[in-house]
Amino acid sequence: MPGFEAFGEEEKKHVNDVLESGVLMRYGFDGMRNGHWKAKEFEAAFAQRMQSQYCQLVSSGTSALTVALASAGVGAGDEVIMPTFTFVASFESIMMLGAVPVLVDIDDTLTLDPAAVEAAITDKTRCVMPVHMCGSMADLDALKAICDKHNLLLLEDACQAIGGTYKGQPLGSYGDLGCFSFDFVKTITCGEGGAVITNNEQYSINADQYQDHGHDHVGNDRGAETHPVLGYNFRISELNAAVGLGQLSKLDTFLAKQKEHYTIMRNALEQVNGVTFRRVPEGGEENYSFLNFFLPTTELTQKAHKALGEAGVDACFYWYTNNWHYINGWEHLRNLNSLGRVPSEIRNQIQDLNNADFSASDAWMGRTISALVKIGWTEAEVQQRASKMAEVISEVLKTEYSL
C-alpha cells in the first residue's frame, strides 16, 4: 500500500474518457457522455470483486460509513459500538447522524474485543461496527453471533483492509453492510472516494437515494426525479471513479506484492526474541498492508520506535501516541469540542471518555508497532529494510533477553 505508487496507463485511459466527454458528474448529461458511465461501471465491478449484490460509490470512506448507517435507519440516540483503535472518521460518521458512539476495548486482533462488545450493549444499541485496522479483521464469527442474539446490525469498516478475507469471503461482505475508503493512501485509490456494499436490496436503495439529496433516480430526467427521503451530497465524481476503475483492475497485483514484501519483513522479525505478532482470527487472511507486531513492554516499544526512526526506517507507526487513531489523542471527542451545539442525544448518552477505563486497550496499543508495506519497493530494498528492522529491535531488546 498505497495504490498511488502505481499509477499508469489504466488510470489515464479512464480519466481521458471522462475528460474527452466533458461530463465530470456521475448523473445526467446522457447525450454528452459518449457512453461513458465510470461510477456505474466501478460499482458493478467492485460489487463483483467483493462478492456482494450491491455497491454504492460515495465521496469518501467517512461518507460511506454515514451512508451505510443511514441506509439501515440508524439515527438520533441510537448507539453504535466501535473500537478505541480506529480513525477519527468512525465516530465522526456516527455523530453526524445524531447517533452515539460507544467506545469499547480491543484485544490482540487490534480490533473489537467481543466480550467488551457484549458488555456494552444497552436497549439503545443498534449497530456493532468492527474496524479492520491495518489490514486485518475482527473475530467476525463471535461478533455476528452477538449481533444475531441481540438483533443488531453488523457494519464492517474495511477501509484499511480491502482485499483481506475471512473464511473465503472478502472483508466487508460478511456483515449486513461493508464500507471502504479509496483515499490517497489506501491500497487502491480514487484520490478521494469510498464505497458501501450490501446484499440487502432496501439498504442499497436507501444508500443510493441518501448519498444524492434523496433523489430516487427513476427515469432519465434528473429534473423530474422525486425525493422519497431527506439526503445529503455524498456523490463521487466521474473523474474519481475513473481513477478507481484503473486501480481496481490492478488490485490483485497490489495484494500479491504486499504479501511478498510483508513476508520478507515478518520472516526477519520472527527471528528476534521478544517480538510477537497480532492475532489473525482462524480462517482469516490479511491484506498485508501493514506488519503489526508487539514488543514486551510499552517502554521498550517506545524505545524501539524511536530507534527505528533514527536508523532511517520510515513508515513505522506507534499508534498509542498518535492523534488520529487512538482514544488517547481524541481530546476533541472526549470534551465534545464542536463548532456547533452537539445534539442532546449525544450529550446525554455518551460515556465519560475522560474517565473511562481503557487499560485493556492500552496494554495492546502501548506495545504495538505497525510497519507500512509499500508496493513500490524493490526486493533488495525490502530485504535491506527487514534486516535493519531486525537489527534495531534486537539491539533494543538485547538487555531484556540477554540471559
- Please check whether residue 112 is in contact with residue 119, taking contact to mean a CB–CB distance below 8 angstroms: no
Q: Give residue-wise pLDDT tens across range 272-316.
A: 999 999 999 999 999 999 999 999 999 999 999 999 999 999 999
Cell numbers describing residue 347:
450529550
Is the C-alpha dihedral spanning 187, 190, 192, 197 positive or negative? negative
Can you give the pLDDT at residue 351? 98
**Which of 12, 13, 167, 186 is flagged as catalytic?**
186
Name 306's bridge partners: none
Average pLDDT estimate for 186-210: 98
Neighbouring residues of 304: CB distance < 8 A, sequence distance ≥ 6: 295, 369, 392, 393, 396, 397
Average pLDDT estimate for 181-198: 97
Q: Give residue-wise pLDDT tens across range 118-171.
A: 999 999 999 999 999 999 999 999 999 999 999 999 999 999 999 999 999 999
Domain boundaries 3-250, corresponding CATH code: 3.40.640.10
- Say what percent of the chain tops pLDDT 90: 97
Cell numbers describing residue 261:
514484501
Q: Give residue-wise pLDDT tens across range 72-95.
A: 999 999 999 999 999 999 999 999
CA distance 96 to 78: 12
- Residue pointed to by grid coordinates 487513531: 325
Give residue limits of the domains in the chain: 3-250, 252-397
Asked about 186 being catalytic, the answer comes back as yes
CATH architecture of the domain covering 252-397 = Alpha-Beta Complex (3.90)
Work out whether strand 290-294 and strand 368-372 pair parallel, antiparallel, or are unpaired: antiparallel
Q: How does residue 403 score in pLDDT terms, banded at 50, 70 and 90?
A: very low
